[in-house]
Structure 1
């Protein structure tokens, strides 16, 4: 996709369409704001990427599932601004922002299954500032990110109130030069659930900070996400294929939802193969501890042995996260820092993975 040749992610926030919501009235105009923390400061041209496809399976899949095509809806107006805080009430009215356009128009009819991006515009912000994206929209079925852990607000009766049911950008892209584009593909653990809202303390945010601004980083983690979702080769994997390197971490939800050991192995193998076929380097990680019990312990151990002993020979890199997150040597399946690792656990993860990734990136960027 040509977009990725020009624009690279400039936030470490998790992104993607996790599910959809239904509005009360398809003709009513609704407005929301999302605040993304800037990774690398400076003045760049930004373009915001959107998709009208659900990336992953939400919960048990009864309501929303991978590759679900959302109905047509409309962006009535959109604007973006830079701020030092993430309080919607302090951001002022839309006139203080820059208007976003789409192929030169202020409105955009979003078609079922469409990928689209805003026209580029120049923004200046420091590292740690926020990009506030405000979108007014109408329609019946709207894709969104239910478990997002960044600040999001909806305008109701003239007041901004916290709400996840707003329009999200899949990528906050800018034309900042980057040696490599690195994607993080996984479930809620990769997204950052387990860390505080707006803390950016998840493992790949800490890792990206350590790796530095020579690269660009896109957090594709989604709560409830499964290897089977990505292996289906839909919109989620399509986005990952645009990266130079993808760090993969799946298996927890697959174990709890299906428990099919051989299918999970096949799905992980398919992810590696399909990413590599697109020219993407793959670093695969073992399935983290998650306080498994009974037969799941045996299956978890078998799949991790497969990753370390078999899949590692095909992947471009492998990292065993279990020793970092396990309660102790006698109970490697129990999570020392919680099934969704807290900031301390994510810090330990980033610290252990950093030298592996730094060495790996050096070998492919020469």
Structure 2
């Protein structure tokens, strides 16, 4: 991203939904984030006012849909106490500004940076990001909707600097800047472009059990890890070459983990999915601002497909393993880690399922995938 700033968290900041309401509102959103490093930090926030990926069949939010007009009334960073209950440590809040101003009007599809802000986050404490947003009736700002992987809270009114526990826990609305950065020298900047399996959906809240987070821990903070996994996302969302793919182009290494939703709700054929993956890789490689970027293509994780979808899954993965799209620098076989033994390899191992009916990988799977990836990654010449 911007010069000296790398990603400060492994939490996904991708968007797959947009606020749509009948009346105007002013509401504060507060999120607790475990950082890659603690101590004295120089932070910066970047935002893209657009939906990254399609939710469900796209009735409300589609990939590359621009956000509307809305206003940041105020924004603060602070330090968590020993509980994630909506409160912050008194006196720890630091104001976030935008070109020196405390508020900012955001226009459709706008991309913008905050000013830098300094804060001391002690070990064992979270960064708490709070911002108050005024939104008009109709569609306004993009956010992520899913089972929350971190503690997030909301309160009516302008309460971004409020210290007490006056907030209500959010159920499925994560409202964050698109990039949470901190100043640090990095060896590599790895972007993980994927769906809910990359995001970590269905793993424990505040547990950081999903494989992207565990990979970040294993590689250490000299590797910036930007997770833009997005629930219900498809390769064809990225293949629009819109805001989501633009984010992925910021990496020196881009890991692509897409295909499950293309085969499922997208009902894409083998040829269509492989064409989209090829297009994504080509666009990443052609980015004039990132010469020498390397692309790691993952096989499509098993998702208990049957019949025609199983056939597509098998054909796509065989192609990725043996004749991957041009521009692919390496292939990581995530399916091999998660799958049942043949001939049931299209099914995820039951011990890896988030519950008996849901094939989203759980925290145990997160460890298995991360361990396998880290061993594989260290052997690669990337």
TMscore range, shorter length: over 0.9
Structure 2: which 5+ residue stretches go unaligned?
A: 158-164, 354-358
Contact 1:18 1:56 in 2 (8 A): yes
Query: Does residue 266 in structure 1 map to residue 275 in structure 2?
Result: yes
Per mean C-alpha deviation after superposition, the further-off stretch among 329-338 and 244-253 is 329-338
Provide Cα deviations, 1:299-352, integer angstroms capped at 9, x if missing partner: 111111111111166311101112210122220001111221111111111111
In 1, are the aligned partners of 2:257 and 2:297 still within 8 Å (CA)?
yes
Task: Establish whether residue 320 from structure 1 lines up as the match of residue 328 from structure 2.
Answer: no
Are the aligned partners of 1:52 and 1:113 in contact in 2 as well (CA < 8 Å)? yes
Structure 2 length as normaliser, TM-score?
0.89
Q: Is the 8 A contact 1:228 1:254 kept in 2?
A: yes
Q: Which residue of 2 aligns with 1:190?
A: 198
Q: Count how many residue pairs are aligned between Structure 1 and Structure 2.
A: 358
Q: Greater helix share, 1 or 2?
A: 1
Please list the CA deviations of residues 166-211 of structure 1 after superposition, one character each: whole Å capped at 9, or x if unmatched. 6311111011111111111100000001211111111111111111
Contact 1:85 1:130 in 2 (8 A): no
Residues 47 and 173, structure 1, Cα contact 8 Å, conserved in 2: yes
- Structure 1 residue 82 displacement after superposition: 1.9
Matches within 5 A, 1:258-337: 258-278=267-287, 279=291, 280-311=293-324, 314-336=327-349, 337=352
Alignment map for 1:102-141 (pairs within 5 Å): 102-126=98-122, 128-140=124-136, 141=140
Contact 1:145 1:165 in 2 (8 A): yes
d(CA) in 1 for partners of 2:233 and 2:123? 30
Matched residue, 1:205: 213
Q: TM-score if structure 1 supplies the norm length?
A: 0.93
State the superposition RMSD in angstroms: 1.8
Whole-Å Cα distance in 1 between the matches of residues 83 and 63 of structure 2?
31
What is the alpha-carbon distance in structure 1 between the residues aligned to residue 70 and residue 379 of structure 2? 45
Q: Distance in 2 between matches of 1:127 and 1:217?
A: 20
Alignment check: 8 A CA contact 2:4 2:185 kept: no
Corresponding residue for 1:54? 51
**Of residues 148, 170, 182 in structure 2, which corresponds to 1:174?**
182
| 2:305 alignment partner, SS class | coil
Whether the aligned pair in 1 keeps the contact of 2:32 and 2:152 (CA below 8 Å) is yes
